[in-house]
Amino acid sequence: MTDTILYSAPGTCGRVTAIVLEEAGLSFETRVIRFLKGEHKSPAFKEKNPKGKVPALEIDGTVLTENVAIICYLVARYPEKALLPKASTLAKDAEITADLCFCSATLHPLVTRIRMPQFFAGPENASAVKKMGCDAMREYFQLVENRLADRPWWYGEAWSAMDAYLYWVFWRVEGAEFAVNDYPSFRDHARRMEERPSVQRAMEREDQMTAQLEAEGLVFTPPRAGKQD
């Protein structure tokens, strides 16, 4: 047992926190939340995270939520792990926070519309919602593509937590038939991510969670809402 517990579920943005924890070399336990059973909305889990969402990171008896806040906490607590670049000015620091917020507040909501459009407007309108999500996402994928055209990672030569967040976004929409091949630099970034031991270990944790859900008959597969390109 460790005193750091990540509550998550396979395929979710809990992967961002898992990768960052792995990059930091921290020891932690992963506990699966059973979405299909509504466990994320259960009173017991809402005691951990009243918003009923993953990830939630229990660390030394305190529960942290929101990927951006969790990353900022880990960066401040473990400065030697260099999870984000060190900002030389307050404005630069705000820019780094803005980058993470871009992932959580702009990209993630579009991921959900592309991946699970039926949750927004019912199954009959899922294709239209997905199309709107894809149309909006293209502008932001192009922005990331331009940035990654001349560098391996978002901040240049050094990997950072921002790369973990971008990777999850890419992977999520790649699996929802978004035309990721139009963005070769972003695609190469994802493949580089998959070579990192931290990502492989995070994926092994997800595989274990999936096996547990399978054994309980609780694997969730979103219905298809049509290919977009």
Ligand X SMILES: N[C@@H](CCC(=O)N[C@@H](CS)C(=O)NCC(=O)O)C(=O)O
Find the shortest distance in angstroms from Cβ 216 to ligand X. 18
Give whichever of 69 and 149 is closer to ligand X, judged by the CB atom.
69
Q: Which residues bind ligand X (CB under 6 A)?
A: 12-13, 40, 52-55, 66-67, 104
Give whichever of 48 and 53 is closer to ligand X, judged by the CB atom.
53
Q: What are the distances in angstroms from CA 176 to CA 136, 169, 191, 213? A: 15, 11, 17, 21
Pairing of strands 62-65, 56-59: antiparallel
Give whichever of 40 and 138 is closer to ligand X, judged by the CB atom.
40
- List the Cα angle 5/11/17 in 5-degree steps: 40
Pairing of strands 4-8, 29-32: parallel
Q: Compute the half-sphere exposure of residue 20: CA atoms within 13 Å on the CB side of its CA.
A: 33
Give whichever of 151 and 225 is closer to ligand X, judged by the CB atom.
225
Find the shortest distance in angstroms from Cβ 149 to ligand X. 27
Find the shortest distance in angstroms from Cβ 21 to ligand X. 14
Q: Which residue is nearest to ligand X (CB)?
A: 53
Check if the beta carbon of residue 174 is closer than 8 Å to that of residue 184.
Answer: no
Find the shortest distance in angstroms from Cβ 41 to ligand X. 7
Check if the beta carbon of residue 143 is closer than 8 Å to that of residue 150.
Answer: no
Check if the beta carbon of residue 219 is closer than 8 Å to that of residue 210.
Answer: yes
- 84 DSSP 8-state letter: S
The span from the CA of 36 to the CA of 90, in Å, is 43
Find the shortest distance in angstroms from Cβ 6 to ligand X. 12
Give whichever of 13 and 161 is closer to ligand X, judged by the CB atom.
13
Find the shortest distance in angstroms from Cβ 228 to ligand X. 20
Give whichever of 105 and 149 is closer to ligand X, judged by the CB atom.
105
